Structure 1
Amino acid sequence: MRSTRSLPALVSLRAFEAAARRLSFSLAAQELFVTQSAVSHHIQRLESELGVALFERRTRAVALTPAGQAYFEHVHAAFELLRQGTDKLRAPAAARVTLKVGLLASFATRWLAPRLPAFAAAHPDIELQLLPDIGLADVAGGDVDVAIRYGRGSWPGVASRLLMTEQLSVVGAPERIAGRKRPRTPEDLLRHPLLTSHAKQPFEWDAWARRFGMDLGRAQTVRLHDYNIVVEAALAGQGLAMGRHRLIAPHLASGALVQALPGAMLEDPRIGWWFVAPRGALQPAAAALRDWLADAAQTDEPTFPATH
């Protein structure tokens, strides 16, 4: 049996999980009812104990390192298990319904996770089991009860409802597109590596290029595993990414990412995040999640700060 003595202190892990989920030491401090310096101290202690940097400190923001992102996925999953176990203990088992939700890891960590406490408070009788995957979860086949998918809708064999549209623009770290390196035209973007994530039906760069007249035939494309890694690579200055503003809003607000071509925003009324369910009448728990997501999306309209 492995000894728990090899594990870091729970208080340090809790500070890391909150800061990584919020991408902010100050917001983590507010959530945990401690000072920002206390959060910073716990994370420094954790980094020292693990022997690896978990965060990249910037002037106006923090970002997870690749090691930090990988560790966060495990730590966050562990805390979710603790929360779910606690909720089961507090509520009669028969009164709770488990809902399996398929979704992209990037949507789960960057949009949904910070809002889960609000859903739990509004629906204590529903336990969400999040099943992140870069592939399309089989809703019709019963692998999951419902799914949140990104794309244009019209998937066969299921019922889809648009929750919120997505706005797309090319973004990068300020230092990559500063001064003489700043793109002036869409063709100028081809001087930079274009970052993209794995997808069964990739469409973002193609749709943007058609809209703004860019020939992707000469593009240097870097294909990464998922969109979380695309964002981290863009933050590290490794190339330009197609920014999904719903997911990268904190980075745009902080200036950690900026638009490479101000005003070159692709807004397609069918590109966005969709609630996908089996055809027919929804079970009450699924309908409750759908309606809650739709309400949350309406109060979360993205803003577009000026490019630095």
Structure 2
Amino acid sequence: MALRPPPSSTAMRAFVTVARLGSTARAAGVVNLTQSAVSKQILSLEHHLGTVLFERNPVGLKLTEAGAIYLPYAEAALEQMERGAMRLAERVAIARPIRLHMVAIAGERWLMERFPVFAEAHPGVDVQFTNYVSENETEEPDIEINHGTPPWPGKEAHYLFGRDVALVAAPELLERMSGFRRAADIQKMTLLQHYQMPAFWAEFTEAHGLRGAVPAHTVRYGYYSVIIRAAVAGLGVALAPRCYVAEELASGALVNPLDIGFTSVTGCWLTRRLDQPSRPGLDAFIAWLRTEAAAFDAATRAA
């Protein structure tokens, strides 16, 4: 005997809804069909099954014995189809690459050495890293890691690290400059400044009672990695987030004279658009980033 093809999901949904509401008119608005179309779906299902599913009377529709038997199976079938569709949607969401736009130093000094742990735990999550989006790029990043100060309109923001800023210099430079005995001595130094962080100097002078002071010379760079190398080479002193120079401070390539620094209003933040829908892989990645950043920030402050 040949197996019958399964009934359409539209017919089963119409049947379940009519069974619940007892009326094709009321069911029509729920399943987004006309009353006539609902009646036709019910008749089609009855023809398919070879039995009458409802008793029709002036008060409404009531399940027959056959309809009562079939109802839980129809409900279970619809539920399974919905679950299957949800699982497929989740799979697509996880498989879609996550575009992370970030400042280069955050990747160099923090993320990349830790990322293999996340990748191993979430092999199905594809993360694409970039620190520049070209003018021809059509896709916006899913999340961003940038230096700045909240709020960011239209975005949720989570602080990561970087507000603890230290004055750093090569030991050889300080020796050539006859040492560093007080904060005001910075005025005889060359300052290595990140062009996006000009406020660091104002924050430093305010924190140490030097308002109005100026360094002997200022050289601006576009990348912290270059500033750090320039400082190690003895080209000047730098005001840098302590977390980015932790390795050089630990090795002695740079020193933090008199433990001079300040807490900046600027830090490294993770941002995400408020209108972005939830995605399993992305949500897991954001949670992992925040946990790792909190541990990194705490370790840097304790060092």
Q: Give TM-score, length-normalised by structure 2.
A: 0.61
The Cα of 1:151 is off from its aligned counterpart by 2.3
> Do residues 238 (structure 1) and 207 (structure 2) align?
no
Please tell me the residue identity of whatever aligns with 2:257.
Answer: A
Query: What is the DSSP-based 3-state SS (H/G/I as helix, E as strand, rest coil) of the residue aligned with 1:302?
Result: helix
Identity %: 28
Please tell me the residue identity of whatever aligns with 1:125.
Answer: G
Return the alpha-carbon distance in structure 2 between the equivalents of residues 94 and 168 of structure 1: 39
Contact kept, 8 Å, 2:191 with 2:215, in 1: the verdict is: no
Q: Structure 1 pair 218/257, CA: closer, same or farther in 2 (3 Å)?
A: closer
Please tell me the residue identity of whatever aligns with 1:211.
Answer: A
Structure-1 residue corresponding to 2:154: 157
Please tell me the residue identity of whatever aligns with 1:278.
Answer: R
> Do residues 207 (structure 1) and 206 (structure 2) align?
no
Contact kept, 8 Å, 2:194 with 2:222, in 1: the verdict is: yes
The Cα of 1:188 is off from its aligned counterpart by 0.6
Q: Give TM-score, length-normalised by structure 1.
A: 0.60
Structure-1 residue corresponding to 2:98: 99
1:290 to 286, 290, 294: 286
Please tell me the residue identity of whatever aligns with 2:270.
Answer: F
> Do residues 170 (structure 1) and 177 (structure 2) align?
no
* Unaligned segments of structure 1, at least 5 residues: 1-91
Return the alpha-carbon distance in structure 2 between the equivalents of residues 110 and 147 of structure 1: 16
Computed over aligned residues only, the root mean square deviation of the Cα atoms, in angstroms, reads 2.8
Return the alpha-carbon distance in structure 1 between the equivalents of residues 99 and 215 of structure 2: 42
Structure-2 residue corresponding to 1:81: none
Return the alpha-carbon distance in structure 2 between the equivalents of residues 94 and 304 of structure 1: 39
1:14-68 residue CA offsets vs partner (Å, 9 max, x unmatched)? xxxxxxxxxxxxxxxxxxxxxxxxxxxxxxxxxxxxxxxxxxxxxxxxxxxxxxx
> Do residues 143 (structure 1) and 140 (structure 2) align?
yes
Query: What is the DSSP-based 3-state SS (H/G/I as helix, E as strand, rest coil) of the residue aligned with 2:101?
Result: strand
The Cα of 1:206 is off from its aligned counterpart by 1.8
Please tell me the residue identity of whatever aligns with 2:169.
Answer: G
Structure-1 residue corresponding to 2:107: 108
The Cα of 1:243 is off from its aligned counterpart by 2.3
Return the alpha-carbon distance in structure 2 between the equivalents of residues 95 and 157 of structure 1: 24
Alignment of 1:1-12 (within 5 A): none
1:129-155 residue CA offsets vs partner (Å, 9 max, x unmatched)? 11114x9x9xxx952111011122212
Structure-2 residue corresponding to 1:196: 193
Contact kept, 8 Å, 1:172 with 1:257, in 2: the verdict is: yes
Please tell me the residue identity of whatever aligns with 1:284.
Answer: P
Q: Structure 1 pair 261/142, CA: closer, same or farther in 2 (3 Å)?
A: farther
Contact kept, 8 Å, 1:252 with 1:304, in 2: the verdict is: no
Please tell me the residue identity of whatever aligns with 1:302.
Answer: T
Contact kept, 8 Å, 1:108 with 1:132, in 2: the verdict is: no
Return the alpha-carbon distance in structure 2 between the equivalents of residues 124 and 243 of structure 1: 35
Return the alpha-carbon distance in structure 2 between the equivalents of residues 183 and 267 of structure 1: 21
Structure-1 residue corresponding to 2:78: none
The Cα of 1:197 is off from its aligned counterpart by 1.6
Contact kept, 8 Å, 1:162 with 1:274, in 2: the verdict is: yes
Return the alpha-carbon distance in structure 2 between the equivalents of residues 115 and 206 of structure 1: 34
* Unaligned segments of structure 2, at least 5 residues: 1-90
Contact kept, 8 Å, 1:97 with 1:125, in 2: the verdict is: no
Query: What is the DSSP-based 3-state SS (H/G/I as helix, E as strand, rest coil) of the residue aligned with 1:168?
Result: strand
